């Protein structure tokens, strides 16, 4: 990991001052892709999602700006509802680096997008939630039920793994593909029998009256997140990519020791209530690590699962998309 000389301890005053400067989402037009292979980056567009605590802390503290602005590189932030749209924006060159769950890059690779895994974030939290009044008690009881899932997201993988664990097939349930916002609305009005979802939505809904957690991802399958970039961007900017990952690792190490501070930042930056934000932050895996064979194998298992079910048309080899700086 690249050693970057930025102070390891960040005062709350500095963080909150930065939060005031950067709380608004920067709108980025996705119709003007950058040609990474021809030129070194002058703008780094970072893809994020609501409540992605590592990137929220980084965005508010402006560490990437402090690192890259002196090099003549502007940092812009692009927020997405969930991972698949971010992968598409990255495919066309409108986003340089982004953080997503385990499944979006598999679907992107299956669609012939030339993306690279550049770092891993171990084991995030997600769950299968049940609405108030549900009679479901076990995973086996999901048979015949309507389950809200974001297609090509980590929740898509989680529900398949959960059904396999219960001895059920995908055809034994009625999967309703919905974005997180639409799934939340369907869950609230009782239009679905279960909802497979990640933090911070998980934290927002688990404490609502009558809502129960049927199962957490930790009891079903390993679920990691990944920093992803396009091969064109990384090959044109290998040292920049390494520096960015080094900075994200640094902010993650700080955040792991200052979760209360980070929860306040996330709450301020997203408008989410502090209590569920603190709950999500307590279980967030604040760790950014280099890609290795174990992470590639875990991703390959997911890819093979989707291919076995006919969800992706052809087998893919995840190891072909793993970047190791200096290798």
User: What digits encode the pLDDT tens for the residues 113-162?
Assistant: 999 999 999 977 899 999 999 999 999 999 999 999 999 999 999 999 99
Per the CB < 8 A criterion, the answer to whether 198 and 129 are in contact is no
State the helix-helix crossing angle for 293-308 and 154-166, rounded to 10 degrees.
70
Q: According to the CATH classification, is domain 126-219 in 3.40.190.10?
A: yes
Question: Which CATH number applies to 12-124+224-321?
Answer: 3.40.190.10
> Residue 50's closest CA among 16, 28, 78?
78
pLDDT tier at 268, thresholds 50, 70, 90:
confident
Domain ranges within the chain, ordered by starting residue: 12-124+224-321, 126-219
3-state helix, strand, coil in the chain (%, to 5): 45, 15, 35
Evaluate if residue 27 carries a pLDDT over 80: no
Evaluate if residue 206 carries a pLDDT over 80: yes
> Residue 184's closest CA among 133, 144, 141, 131?
131
58-98: per-residue pLDDT in tens?
A: 988 899 999 999 999 999 999 998 999 999 999 999 999 99
Evaluate if residue 17 carries a pLDDT over 60: no
Average pLDDT over residues 3-30: 31
The least confident of 104-108, 231-235, 322-326 is 322-326
Per the DSSP assignment, residues forming a β-bridge with 48 are 79
The predicted pLDDT at position 13 comes to 32
Tokens 């390993």 sit on residue: 222
Q: Report d(CA 255, CA 57) in Å as an integer.
A: 7
Per the CB < 8 A criterion, the answer to whether 243 and 237 are in contact is no
């Amino acid at each position: 990991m690249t050693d970057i000389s930025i102070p390891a301890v960040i005062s709350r005053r500095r963080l909150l001052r930065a939060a005031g400067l950067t709380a608004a989402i920067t709108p980025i037009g996705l119709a003007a892709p950058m040609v990474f292979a021809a030129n070194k980056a002058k703008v780094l567009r970072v893809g994020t999602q609501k409540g992605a605590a590592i990137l929220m802390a980084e965005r508010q503290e402006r560490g990437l700006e402090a690192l890259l602005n002196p090099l003549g590189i502007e940092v812009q932030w692009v927020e997405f509802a969930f991972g698949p749209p971010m992968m598409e924006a990255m495919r066309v060159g409108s986003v340089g680096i982004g953080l997503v769950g385990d499944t979006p890059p598999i679907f992107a690779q299956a669609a012939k997008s030339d993306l690279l895994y550049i770092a891993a974030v171990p084991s995030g939290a997600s769950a299968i939630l049940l609405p108030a009044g549900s009679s479901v008690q076990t995973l086996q009881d999901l048979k015949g039920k309507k389950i809200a899932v974001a297609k090509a997201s980590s929740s898509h993988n989680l529900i398949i793994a959960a059904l396999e664990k219960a001895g059920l097939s995908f055809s034994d349930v009625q999967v309703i593909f919905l974005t997180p916002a639409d799934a939340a609305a369907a869950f609230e009005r009782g239009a679905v029998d279960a909802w497979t979802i990640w933090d911070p939505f998980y934290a927002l809904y688990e404490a609502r009256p009558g809502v129960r957690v049927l199962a957490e991802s930790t009891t079903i399958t390993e679920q990691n997140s990944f920093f992803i970039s396009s091969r064109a961007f990384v090959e044109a900017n290998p040292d920049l990519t390494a520096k960015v990952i080094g900075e994200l690792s640094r902010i993650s190490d700080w955040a792991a020791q200052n979760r209360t501070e980070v929860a306040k930042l996330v709450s301020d930056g997203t408008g989410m209530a502090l209590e569920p934000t603190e709950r999500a932050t307590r279980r967030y895996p604040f760790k950014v690590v280099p890609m290795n064979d174990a992470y590639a194998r875990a991703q390959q298992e997911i890819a093979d699962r989707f291919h076995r079910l006919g969800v992706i048309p052809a087998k893919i080899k995840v190891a072909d998309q793993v970047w190791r700086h200096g290798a």
